[in-house]
Chain A
Amino acid sequence: MKMLIRSVMVAVVFSSCAVDDPKFKTFANNDLQLAVGNAAKMECTCKFVMEMDDAFCTAWVKASPDVARFSYDAKAKTVEASAFVSWVAHAHWVDDKRGCVLE
């Protein structure tokens, strides 16, 4: 069942984002993977590099479509973002010169 749901969602995502314009090169990105990658990276940076508070970062990270949810470990300086269970991304703090990296 989980596989079926995922397959349907992938089909919906790709069909809704198809680019027919031949002048453009298209890339094999999944929108949901982009969404969770963005959330993980931006939350890590907002929290640990820009050192803004939770309320600010929640608003700052929010993107359209607003499907990604995230949590962070303040001690380990790591962030996990997810969407619809199956899509997950992680970012972590490296050091005070190199900030955060999207894994």
Chain B
Amino acid sequence: MKPALIAVALSLAVVASSAFAAPCPTRASWPTTDWPATGTTNRSTQVKALEDYAFRTIGTDAERNGIRTDSVIIIKGGNIVYERYARGWAASNRHISWSVAKSISSTLIGVALQKGALKLEDSICKYLTRYEGKGVCDITVKDTITFGMGLQWQEEYENSGYQGSSVISMLLGVGHVDQADFVLTQRQSYKPGSQFIYSTGYATVTAAVAKAALAPAFGKDAFWSLLFDKIGMSRTVFEEDVKGTPLGGSYVYATPRAYAKLGYLYLNDGCWAGERLLPEGWVTAATTINDAFKANRGSCPYAAVEGTYVLPCEDTPSGYMWWLNKSPASGVAKPYPDMPDDGYTAIGHWGQYVAVVPSEDLVVVRTGDDRNDCPAGAAADQTVNGVPCNFDIGKLVGLAIQVAK
């Protein structure tokens, strides 16, 4: 076929596909510069209930007991209806994301997909070319965002033994200089795509792939020009290791209002001010239980095999590094009883949350510094010495719905 005919055919195809593409949602305004605020009227009882839960403190600050909320923002219908900061924090301060970064990293894969810079079924070696022939090229881009890479990983934190923590070893220990390499040289414990392993390291690879896919065409600051600047998250900091790998599992920093914009992007099907930043269908896929997660639940509980790390049975289903309020398995309750079924969250260590509830046109952000001596994987209602182990984002969303009515 002659080039002119190919061009005509491509043009027709684009026109045809756009004719059937889902339109972007329309809004009266978009909070790219800042959020409009409406406040709450006649909701003092509901506000008090929310604050009694979210801003209650136990003991002195130095004791690090109980719930220690740094901020809460409620967005309803595109407006801030409630906002409060505590413990020295203000609207201008960027707050550590911890694992909310994972949801941001998967979003950047979506951005790269929308730009035609990668495909989910591509091998990661297409982008991380130094690993060609190194035994990890069966891992796809999709495996990284579904926690399905299958590489050995022990996601243990400060309350567990430091010598057995893959994540501490990566961030601070023997792997910190070249963190993608630390992840990609772990043992292939499972066939890629066949098992869900929650891993900060996998999200590091996710961000590394996104950067490698986008940088050649869009520059080293593509995360900002293609996502953060577009939605008014320009002051976002995305830290890297010494080798320049973006640390997409934990080290992103943004203001609470900026985190709310990430939620608002998802609430609006990946569109912002009429522009589609995430592919059509992305948000649906990102908030649908992925196959690797189903495999995890399908083989619970695990039998201990000599030399094999026993994976935890995950109770909060995951899509593309977003956490869903759906039953993880037949006969098992959904994780957040007080949150509508369609709600989903980005979740970070020490109580960072971005919750999105489409049925309520609602985004709730909570930042915190909850550091109790709780065992890893503590249940939502578990206490130690009478102090709650975990902040319940579902409860906060339930209270926020009442405030925002």
Does A associate with B in a complex? yes
Residue from A27, A45, A51 within 8 A of B163 (CB atoms): A27
Report the bound CA distance from A22 to B165 in whole Å: 14
B: number of interface residues (CB 8 Å): 48
B239 within 8 Å of A (CB atoms): yes
Least CB distance from B203 to A in Å reads: 17
**Once the chains bind, are B176 and A102 in contact (CB under 8 Å)?**
yes
Least CB distance from B305 to A in Å reads: 8
Least CB distance from A17 to B in Å reads: 5
The answer to whether residues A23 and B309 also contact, given A99-B253, A101-B242 and a CB cut-off of 8 A, is yes
Residue from A17, A22, A26, A34 within 8 A of B307 (CB atoms): A22
**Once the chains bind, are A45 and B169 in contact (CB under 8 Å)?**
no
> Size class of A's contact patch?
35 or more
**Once the chains bind, are A19 and B253 in contact (CB under 8 Å)?**
no
B342 within 8 Å of A (CB atoms): no
The answer to whether residues A101 and B240 also contact, given A27-B169, A53-B88 and a CB cut-off of 8 A, is yes
Q: Contact flags (1/0) for B242-256 with A, using CB distance below 8 Å? A: 100000000101000
Of the candidates B172, B176, B369, the one having the most CB atoms from chain A within 10 angstroms of its own CB is: B172
For the A-B complex, the count of residue pairs with Cβ-Cβ distances under 8 Å equals 115
**Once the chains bind, are B96 and A50 in contact (CB under 8 Å)?**
yes
Residues of A within 8 A of B163 (CB): 17-19, 26-27, 29, 31
**Once the chains bind, are A96 and B154 in contact (CB under 8 Å)?**
no
Residue from A41, A50, A101 within 8 A of B93 (CB atoms): A50
A25 within 8 Å of B (CB atoms): yes
**Once the chains bind, are A17 and B162 in contact (CB under 8 Å)?**
yes
The answer to whether residues A50 and B94 also contact, given A27-B165, A33-B173, A98-B238 and a CB cut-off of 8 A, is yes
Residues of B within 8 A of A37 (CB): 172-173, 176
Q: Contact flags (1/0) for B240-280 with A, using CB distance below 8 Å? A: 11100000000101000000000000000000000000000
Report the bound CA distance from A45 to B98 in whole Å: 12
Among listed A1-9, A57-65, A71-79, interface-contacting one: A57-65
Residues of B within 8 A of A41 (CB): 171-172
**Once the chains bind, are B172 and A38 in contact (CB under 8 Å)?**
yes
The answer to whether residues A94 and B240 also contact, given A34-B162, A37-B176 and a CB cut-off of 8 A, is yes
The answer to whether residues A31 and B237 also contact, given A49-B94, A50-B96 and a CB cut-off of 8 A, is no
The answer to whether residues A23 and B168 also contact, given A50-B96, A96-B237, A98-B238 and a CB cut-off of 8 A, is no
Residues of B within 8 A of A101 (CB): 239-242
**Once the chains bind, are B309 and A97 in contact (CB under 8 Å)?**
no
Residue from A24, A25, A59, A97 within 8 A of B224 (CB atoms): A97
Chain B stretch 268-302: residues in CB contact (< 8 A) with chain A: none
Whose C-beta in chain A lies nearest to the C-beta of B187? Answer: A25
Of the candidates B166, B175, B251, the one having the most CB atoms from chain A within 10 angstroms of its own CB is: B251
B378 within 8 Å of A (CB atoms): no
**Once the chains bind, are A97 and B221 in contact (CB under 8 Å)?**
yes
Q: Contact flags (1/0) for B157-201 with A, using CB distance below 8 Å? A: 010011111101101111110000000000100000000000000
6 A-B pairs closest in CB distance: A29-B173, A99-B237, A27-B169, A37-B172, A24-B164, A99-B239
| Contacts A27-B173, A59-B61, A101-B241 known; 8 new A-B pairs at CB < 8 A | A17-B161, A25-B166, A26-B164, A34-B173, A41-B172, A59-B62, A98-B238, A99-B251
User: Can you list 18 A-B contacts with CB-CB less than 8 angstroms, sorted by A residue number?
Assistant: A23-B304, A24-B309, A25-B164, A27-B175, A31-B163, A38-B172, A45-B96, A45-B239, A49-B94, A49-B237, A49-B239, A50-B94, A52-B89, A96-B235, A97-B237, A98-B239, A101-B239, A101-B240
